[in-house]
Structure 1
Amino acid sequence: MKRLVFILACLLSSPASAQERFSHQSIQLQTDRIFNNLVKIRREFHENPELAGHEICTQKVIAQYLLDLGLEVDTNIYGHGVVGILKGGKKGKKIAWRSEMDALPTDHADKAPFKSKNKGIQHGCGHDIHMAIGLGIAKVLAKNKAYLSGTVYFIFQPEEETFIGAKGMINDGLFSKIKPDEIYGLHVSALPVGQVMVKPNEMFAYQRRVRIKLKNELSKEEANVLTKKIHSFLFRSTANSKPWEIHHMADPKIGLTNPNTIFKDYLFMDENFINRSKNNVLFLETYLYETNSTYLKDIIPKIKQAIEDSGYKDQLLSVSFTQENPTVINDEKLTNAASKTLQNIYGKDVIVTDHGQVPFFNDDFAYFQQKIPGVYFLLGGSDIEKGIIAMNHSPDFQVDEECIRTGVKCFSSLILDRLNKN
C-alpha cells in the first residue's frame, strides 16, 4: 500500500516537477546549446541584407524557421512582415516580442568576414542581430510551450528604417488578428556587451524636421549667418556639454549610465541646414532634437523670434515642422517590473539605468506603444578590447555576437516571468 501511495504521489507531482525544470537556469542552458546556430543564422542574414520594402528572402527564412518550431505563422500582415504565434499549454497573458528585418542602403566599410553579398546594402544597424535573438527566444519558449501559461506573439517587422513598418502593420489589422497585453523589443547599441539598458518614459529625444521659408532675397552668406543665429538662440544643454557627440553614450563619466550624463535636458539643431531656392522662395531645412516634450510647442515661435531679431521679419514667409515622428516612450510600471525581474534572475550588473535620451536615433516601435503598454531596451554590443564598436549607422559598425546569448536568455526569462504573473 505504501508503495502504491508513493507511485501515485510521483505521478501526481511529475507535471509540477517538469514545469520546475523549465526554469531560468534551463533557459540559460538551452540558450547556450543553440547559440552557435543562432550566430550562423545571424551571419546568413548579414550576408543577405534586404532594404525596407524588399525583405522577401528574409521573410521566407523567418517564416520557415517558425513553422519548423511548430508555431502558427501569418505572412499576410503588411509588406513582408511575419507574425509567429506560440500558444502555451495553459491560458494566460498574451505577450508580443518585436524584431526588425530591414537593412540600410550604405557602402560603409564592413570588417566582418561574412560581408554583405548585396552591393550598397548592409545590416549596419543590427537588425540581423535582432532577428537572431527573436528566433532564439522563439526556439527556447517553443521547446517548452507545454509549461507556458499564455500566448507569445513574435512580430518580425519590415520597414523600420523608413519609419513606416510598425504603422503599416497596425493599419493593416495587426491588432485585430492578435491582441497582446504587453509588447517588448530591443535595439543593439554601443554599450558594453552583456549590458541591458532601460528607463521609463522617453528613450530618445524628440526629433523634428524644421522648414523655414523666406523670400529669396538673402545671399548664401546671409543665410548661413542667420541659421547660426537660430541655432545659438535655441541651443540648450548642461554646462560645457556636447550632446550631439553620440560616441560618448557609453562613456561611464558622461554617458547614459551616469546620472550627470550630457544626454539629458538639451535642445540642439543640426548646424548644416539644407539651403535651396525655388520660385523665388528660399528654403532652409534641418533637424532638431529636444528632450522635453512640453517645450516642443515653443520651438516654432522661438525660430520666428530669432529671424525677426536678425532683421528678416519682412522676408519671413513661414516656419513649420515637416516631420514629427513619435518617440519611444516606455511604460513606467512595466519598465520597473522588467528591470526588477532581470536583476533578480541575472544579477544587478546585467541591467543598467539609462539617465538620458539618445539623440539622432528613434524607432517606430513607438507606434506599437501607442496601442499597447510596452518596453524598449538597449542591448550592449561593443567590446572595446576586441576593437568592436556597435555604433549604429556608422563606418566600421560591428557587433560582438555574444550579445545574442545575452538577449535570448534575458528576454526568454522576462517573457516566462511575465506569463507566470497573470
Structure 2
Amino acid sequence: MKKLALSLMCLVTTIASAQKLKNKTANPKQTKEHLVHESIELETDRIFKKLVAIRRDFHENPELAGHEVRSQKIIKQYLLDLGLEVETDVYGHGVVGILKGGKKGKKIAWRSDMDALPNDFPDAVAFKSKIKGIQHGCGHDVHMAIALGIADVLAKNKESIKGTVYFIFQPEEETFVGAKSMVDSGLLSKINPDEIYGLHVSALPVGQIMVKPNEMFAYQKRIRIQLKNELSKDDAKGLMEKISSSLFRATTGSKPWEIQNMVDPKIGLMNPNTIFKNYLFVDEHFSTRSKNNQFFLEAYLYETDQSHLTEIIPRVKKIIEDNGYKDQLLSLSFIQENPTVINDEKLTGVAIKALDNIYGKNAVTPDYGQVPFFNDDFAYFQQKTPGVYFLLGGSNFEKGIIAMNHAPNFQVDEESIRTGVKCFSSLIMERLNKN
C-alpha cells in the first residue's frame, strides 16, 4: 500500500508538472508578461539604495520655482548616462528625457515636478536642507527620484518596449506656472503623447496607491469683494462669516477642511461615505485691504461640484445686498480660477485594472473624495492629453512619519520610492505593449 501510495503521488506530481508545462506552453504570452514585471521588481530593488541617495541629495539642496539649476543638471546627466536623448530647451529649467523602444508603438509621458518650498519648517531627518529658507516640504524630491527610477528600469527593458516614453521634469509647479508654460511653449504639440501620467506623495500609508476618475481635488476659487468704503475689522469678519455660513454645504457634522482626516478609514478618502465629497466651504482665513478709498475682501472657497460654480457669485451678491451693503458693492468676481486635476475616466479604469492584474487585486485603493487646499498644475497637461494623476502613500504611522504636504515635520517613508518605481514602470510597460 505504501508503494502504491508513493506511485500515485509520483503520478499526480508528474501530471501536475505536465499540466503546468502545458499551461505555460499554451499561454506563453502570460508567462512572458509575468517575467517582465518580475524583472521590473528585481531591477527596482537593485537600484533602490541609489534612488534613496539621489532623493536625499535633492532634499539637502532644494531650489525654488524658477531656480532649479542644480536639479536640472543632475537629472540631465542621469538620463544621459542611461542612454536617453535629453532636451532642456523646453521651458525654464525643465528637462525632457526620451526613451525610444526597440519597436514602434504609442507614446507615453511621465511627469515629475522639481521645485521646493520657501519655508523653514522643522525637519527631523539627518539630511535636512542646507539652504536656509528653502525646503522640499511637499515631496517633489521624492517625485524626481521616482521618475529617474522609472527611466532607469525601463531603459533596461528598452528592446522589449513598443513605443516611446517621455520623462517630463517640470519646473515651477508650486507657483502654478511651469506646466502651463511648457504647454504654451509647444512641448505637447512637439512630442504629441497619447497618454500622460504623474503622481504626488501624500499622507496616505506608505505603499498605498490611490486614484479616482474625474476630479481628484476640490475646485479652488479666490473671490474678491470690492466695496466703496472701508469696513471695520468686526464688520468685515461679520460679513465673511455670513457669506461662509450661507454657502456652507457638507455632510452633517463634518469638517472637510480638517484634511488630516483624509487617512481615517471611517471618514477618509478610502470610505464611500467619506466627508470629502459634496461640500462647499469658505476658508476662514480671509484678507482685507484698502486702496484709493476702496475696500477689498478676498477669500478662497472650495467646491467639489463643477455644476455649482456658476451659482456662487450670484449667491454671494445676494448675501451682501441682504446684509445692507447693496449701495457699497462695486464689484464681485473670482480673481483666481486655476484648473483642477481631472483624470480621464476611461484611462483611469484601464490603469487600475492593469495594476490590479500585475500586483494583485486591490493594488490600487479607490478614492471616493476630493481633497481641499491641494491642487496641481498637472491639470494643464490633462487639458491637452488624456492623463491620470495618482496619490502615493508616504506615511508610516508606526515610525512617526507623516507625509502631510506643506506641514511642519513633513517626512516621507522612502519605501514609497520603491512602490512608485515598481508599479508605474509596470504600468507604462503594460500600456506600451498593449497597443
- TM-score normalised over the length of structure 1: 0.95
Distance 1:127 1:218 in 2: 41
**Cα deviations across residues 247-282 of structure 1 (Å, max 9, x unaligned)?**
110110100000000000000011221011111111
The amino acid that maps onto 2:90 is I
Which residue does the alignment assign to 1:49?
62
The alpha-carbon deviation at position 217 of structure 1 amounts to 4.6
Distance 2:290 2:264 in 1: 42
Which residue does the alignment assign to 2:232?
219
Alpha carbons 2:87, 2:95 under 8 Å: kept: yes
Is 1:299 the counterpart of 2:332 in the alignment?
A: no
**Cα deviations across residues 5-53 of structure 1 (Å, max 9, x unaligned)?**
xxxxxxxxxxx99976861111001000000000000000000000000
The alpha-carbon deviation at position 172 of structure 1 amounts to 1.1
Distance 2:35 2:365 in 1: 27
The amino acid that maps onto 1:151 is T
Q: How does 1:79-118 map to 2 (within 5 A)?
A: 79-118=92-131
Distance 1:158 1:420 in 2: 30
The amino acid that maps onto 1:259 is P
**Cα deviations across residues 72-101 of structure 1 (Å, max 9, x unaligned)?**
000000000000000000000100000000
Is 1:311 the counterpart of 2:336 in the alignment?
A: no
The structure-2 alpha-carbon separation of the partners of 1:153 and 1:217, relative to structure 1 and needing over 3 Å to count, comes to closer
The amino acid that maps onto 1:179 is N
Alpha carbons 1:107, 1:120 under 8 Å: kept: yes
Which residue does the alignment assign to 2:247?
234
**Cα deviations across residues 348-370 of structure 1 (Å, max 9, x unaligned)?**
24210000001000000000000
Alpha carbons 1:49, 1:122 under 8 Å: kept: yes
Which residue does the alignment assign to 2:179?
166
SS at match of 2:86: strand
Which residue does the alignment assign to 2:343?
330
Which residue does the alignment assign to 1:268?
281
Is 1:413 the counterpart of 2:413 in the alignment?
A: no
Alpha carbons 1:190, 1:250 under 8 Å: kept: yes
Aligned residue pairs, count: 408
The structure-2 alpha-carbon separation of the partners of 1:146 and 1:22, relative to structure 1 and needing over 3 Å to count, comes to farther
Alpha carbons 1:31, 1:405 under 8 Å: kept: yes
**Cα deviations across residues 315-365 of structure 1 (Å, max 9, x unaligned)?**
111111110000000001110010011111112242100000010000000
Is 1:178 the counterpart of 2:178 in the alignment?
A: no
The alpha-carbon deviation at position 230 of structure 1 amounts to 0.5
The amino acid that maps onto 2:192 is K
SS at match of 1:254: coil
Q: How does 1:258-407 map to 2 (within 5 A)?
A: 258-407=271-420
SS at match of 1:309: helix
Gapped regions of structure 2 (runs ≥ 5):
1-28
The amino acid that maps onto 2:401 is I
Distance 2:186 2:231 in 1: 49
Is 1:252 the counterpart of 2:265 in the alignment?
A: yes
The alpha-carbon deviation at position 219 of structure 1 amounts to 2.1
2:142 aligned to 101, 116, 129, which one? 129
Distance 1:128 1:420 in 2: 30
The amino acid that maps onto 1:61 is I
The alpha-carbon deviation at position 171 of structure 1 amounts to 1.1
Alpha carbons 2:230, 2:290 under 8 Å: kept: no
Distance 2:406 2:395 in 1: 14
- TM-score normalised over the length of structure 2: 0.92
Distance 2:368 2:296 in 1: 36
Identity rate, percent: 75
Distance 2:285 2:341 in 1: 26
Which structure has the greater CA radius of gyration? Answer: 2
